[in-house]
Amino acid sequence: MQNGFDRLPNYAWVMEKIIEEVGADTFWERYPNLRDVHAALTLDSDVGDGETESLCNPAAGAVFRAIRADCPAQPMLIDVLLLNAARLDLHGTAVSSDHRYRDDESEHDRALLAGIGERMNLPFDTANYLCHLSNTYKYLYVATPKAACTAIKHCLQQAEMVGTLVFRDYGEEHKPTLSPLLAPIHSPQVYFDAFGMDDWFRFTFVREPFGRALSCYLDKIVNSAGERNRLLPRLGLDPNAGIPSFADFLNAVARYPVEEHDLHWAPQSWLTQPDTVKYHFIGRLENFETDFQHVCDRLGIKMQSQGGRHSTRADEKLAAYYGAEEIELARSIYAQDFIGFGYDSNLLTARSRPQAEPD
């Protein structure tokens, strides 16, 4: 490779294999932004006295952004392979040369997927979606849906890049394939290290359960016809019957085991597994500005203010939706959240703490 692309070993290897398969003309026609990056990119710069400053991370970032810009909102396999490779170079990690392509039918890879889930005490798909890693800043962030996860992911993803990451479509922060952060499957060894290495910072954010449950109902059931049609059948409810009441929603949630809950209404104690992860810091949405500033200071990144794209102002509407039945249902469904995270199960206490909702 020319211009020091040997400093991007994962990307260079995968790109060469793909070009061998599809041909150079077809490849560059598909990736015009990437072609421009290749034409402009210099990976080394002299800093004086014969020393050379490595620009590997900025180069990997530029490559990652270009592939991301060229690929569709739902990446094809060819896009995924390139993004995964560029992401590994961005983080300075690598996979063995004989295992860059995973085969979910192989015994080795089935065991790997099971191990990723078991380490988090969750199903693989859940652990792989919730866990976000940075080998650059050495942290493991376990996302909690409806607890500012969009704002947090946006900030962390921007910090990972040298340059601005453009989010083209609504919800791109939540697609592991398009994120510059590592998911467990991208680099399993980094994931396993994050649980036990002293230099890794493990954190998550939680939310008062009454407000979180109502926010989920308003965001996913009341305000979005698409999400309502997708999610109500999972609760045994008919989308064609109209919008269920909050009590009907909670009753339906209560009928299912936690393993079958959608992540947006699953108990936070199950999603975050605090007994397994051994967090250094558990932030609260009620103190979001202060708590997330603490995280950013600890990581050495700049905190970015994000608007609440998913904000339902649920914490200002508790009185309108919670009667005696709804209170008891929420207490039952989220009993471990109240106990484990120290939230008061008296709704009047929750009502006294209205807050802005960054997610």
Non-local (6+) Cβ contacts of 192 within 8 A are 115, 119
- Over 50: is that where the pLDDT of 48 sits? no
DSSP annotation of 171 reads T
pLDDT band at 1 (very low <50, low <70, confident <90, very high): very low
The residue to which tokens 């800043």 are assigned? 137
Average pLDDT, the chain: 87
> Do strands 201-206 and 139-142 pair parallel, antiparallel, or not at all (unpaired)?
parallel
| Whether the Cβ atoms of residue 214 and residue 233 lie closer than 8 Å to each other | no
Q: What is the pLDDT of residue 47?
A: 37
Domains belonging to the chain, first-starting first, are 1-95 (no CATH), 122-359 (3.40.50)
CA distance 14 to 104: 19
Q: What is the pLDDT of residue 51?
A: 42
Q: What is the pLDDT of residue 94?
A: 76
The more confident residue out of 348 and 225 is 225
69-94 pLDDT, tens digit per residue, is 999 988 999 999 999 999 999 998 87
Mean per-residue pLDDT, 96-108: 58
171-219 pLDDT, tens digit per residue, is 888 999 999 999 999 999 999 999 989 899 999 999 999 999 999 999 9
Q: What is the pLDDT of residue 53?
A: 42
| Whether the Cβ atoms of residue 315 and residue 211 lie closer than 8 Å to each other | yes
The string of DSSP codes covering 104-161 is TTSHHHHHHHHHHHHHHTS-HHHHHHHEEEETTTTEEEE--TTTTHHHHHHHHHHHHS
The string of DSSP codes covering 220-278 is IIIS-HHHHHHHGGGGT--GGG-PPPHHHHHHHHHTS-GGGS-TTTS-HHHHH-HHHH-
- Over 80: is that where the pLDDT of 341 sits? yes
CA distance 203 to 209: 19
Percent of the chain residues past pLDDT 70, beyond the cut: 85
Mean per-residue pLDDT, 16-34: 94
**Rounded to the nearest 5 degrees, what angle is found at the Cα of 231, between the Cα atoms of 229 and 234?**
120
Residue 228 phi/psi, 5-degree rounding, is -60, -45
